[in-house]
Structure 1
Amino acid sequence: MVREFKLPELGENVESGDVAKVLVSPGDTLEKDQPVLELETDKAVVEIPSTVSGKIKELKVEIGDQVAIGQVILTLEEGEEDIQEEAPAAKEEAKPEQDDKPSEKNAAVTGGQQPAPKVSRMEAREERGIKRDEITAAPETTVSAPAPATPSVRRLARELGVDIHEVTGSGPGGRISGDDVKHYVRALVSQRTTPSSAPGVVSQATPFLPLPAFEKWGAVEREPMSKIRRKTAEQMSQAWTIPHVTQHDQADITRLEQARKRLARRVEQAGGKLTLTAIALKVVAAALRAFPRFNTSIDVDAKELVYKQYCHIGVAVDAEHGLLVPVLREVDQKNIAQLAVELTELAEKARSRKIGPEEMAGGSFTITNLGGLGGSYFTPIINWPEVAILGLSRAKLTPLYREGELQPRLLLPLSLSYDHRVIDGADAVRFLRWIAEALEDPLLLSLEG
């Protein structure tokens, strides 16, 4: 018996990924739960385990391929034991299908009209971000067969933001060439698709303009964008539709730094590192309770503000393969030592590409710390659908006039970007000043609370 193994669900909003590594070969004996391949999703590389067992007959994917949920990964010949296990399920499937036509009674209730077919999960995801009432019913669809194109052509389509399955090939048997992809993009641009009229919503149909032929001016080299980099670009494009304003301030953390160094060993013994970011997590959590509007999201369609009763804060991590934002849960319910340990663990998972998509979802506010790299003030981009983000820069020893004399003080630059549709400038100043004053007084902070 030959059976297909298809790419299973990977998590909410994860619809596809790029094959980073294939871990099996034709002829191998595959066991249940054995890793089949490594797939690079939007924010991580995950192992895909098999849900079936048997002898692998054919591999349907190779390194670099983009595969969607439900697409066939491989075919295999099952053993007798697997066939027996599947027998009950087969009997269930063998039951005669019910007539899809509505009964006369139902027809009378609906006025003779057939009920609209259900919208598939994939179609609902594609419509997300556009007005809810624009989602129309459509029949359940199946995953398209692999497009007749070489890996380099599929890569070009991905770089241009094009679904390769929508391109008509001009070659033998409908083979798609690079020119076919470029002609398709030019046709899209000529249509001048109008973006969604709803504020803050990016039209998913609007393509990017094609680039000029850089080769005319000299030699170039192309490098495919990784899945993580492409997702980051998409997220930043979405975020930039938010009307950003950035407020700057600074905090005198001279005493805080002395306390941090004194208490650092206690946290190290617990398995964490007492960084300024860990302390900032606790301060921001308290600030969000005092200023709940900063812990909201704006629902443009419903014209409502969504106030979150939870406090999940994301922290930007500079990983070798791209920027990742793991989320710490219930920050307001944990002490600084606990947050330091958890932050250390999540940052290591992000840098080693072992973090899962669910560990980077659900944040209500974000902190990004560039102090380890240098710089002073900057304008962090809001992590949509949040409404604010706090940026920390490198603290500098600065002469400050206090108590009638110049004193060396350690000043920390703070940068707060906020959504001006939700937050007014005066509230942003108060919020940032609250954070600065909390950082300046270590007595307000405690490793126990």
Structure 2
Amino acid sequence: MSNIIQLFLLVSLLCLSILFLFRVWYYIRHQNDVFNPISLFALGTIYLYLVPGVYLYISDDFVWLTEVSKRDFLTASLVVFLFFALVVSSFLRLPKVKIRGINFNISRSDSRFLFFAGLLWIALGLTGYLLYVWLNGGFVRLLTVNRALFQTVPNTQRYKILAWVGLWGGLPLVVPSAHELYENIDGRQRRLFIYFVSILVLLVLVITFSFRGRLKAAYPMAYILLYLHYRIYKISFKQFGLIAALGAISIGGFTFIEYIIGGGNASLRLIINGLIYRVRFEPLVAVITEASIERPFQLGTTFINGGMWYDVGITPLGERIELIVTGEDLPGFTIGATVIAELYLNYGIVGVLLGAPIYGFLLKVIWSTLLESDNYIVKGIYPAMLFISLAIVPTSIGWVLRNFVMIVLPPIILTLAVRRVFSEDSSNSQLPS
């Protein structure tokens, strides 16, 4: 009888989740914007929780866990549903937030300074990338060994961080400022200019792909796609569905290639494992089952450690999740978790219930930033802000804080510097008529 009750509760949660998804669908149809933050959040929830959850319940095909009771599975599903429902409800019910503060009134004449500032930032990132790869064995080794084992020389992580700061932080400067410059260039120079910018963006894509990280590879592609949608060509619902399907297939293929490079054997099961991404839902089940029983709550310490680039004497979140899931700490190996698992690991169900509406509010603030501003720099930084804010779902709060500093903060600082220094210089240099 208890199994029937548990199955009934799971089916009820699934039906309620589908009802919330229909509510999100109605909202984005009304807004006529497929890249609304709440629609992307719902898509991530389907990919990370809904599909793996149904698959694991039917198949019991877990990656690490050997025995999972239906009760634990039900508890994890309930926590996921509460987080999803609270995020959606807070986002949809909150009115548009008025944004006040930093002034990004950048004139068109300043776009050339921002463009060159972005070029210098990308050049800085390219320098860090070349140093990191060269010191650790070169490009062939980078592309043929497991990415977790590539770094062999101590203290070279700083060059990798420099690469991300320069390449990713320069992209939100170069793309919008180049768009403004393109409008004022005529003839053959316009064609050469667009070729130059395209090669530059392609270089950022190639370098990012060379590290073979899913989320890292997704950033430049997502940025270009979002910028294209909001500034150049509005993507329709059908085109969005095609892009989402291609993205899921690409993730499966990415997992397949990674496994082959690591020396594994190719199989259809491997592709299925890539498409049904179980390695985020499974750790969540383990954390909810064991965190409050065998280990005390962490009370926010994972937020601090995850936001640092260096060791602060606190066990990283990935290693804590690894200990909970596998019972051991293997060198060079960690298990990622979602923000739901991190909130539960730190504060239990209270953390999930309080964190969800706060996250929904932050998504609303970011969305209002785009709606409230017509400035091209704000529209250029917005895709980076949106990607980072949504990346918290499959990662952690510390990861988001760290990457906000690397990706979003540099364009903001450089924009304010250009506006203050070069605009004042231009006004002071004007001669009286």
What TM-score do you get using the length of structure 1 for normalisation?
0.24
Q: Which has the higher contact order (CA 8 A, sep 6+)?
A: 2
What TM-score do you get using the length of structure 2 for normalisation?
0.24
Greater percentage in helix: 2
Greater percentage in strand: 1
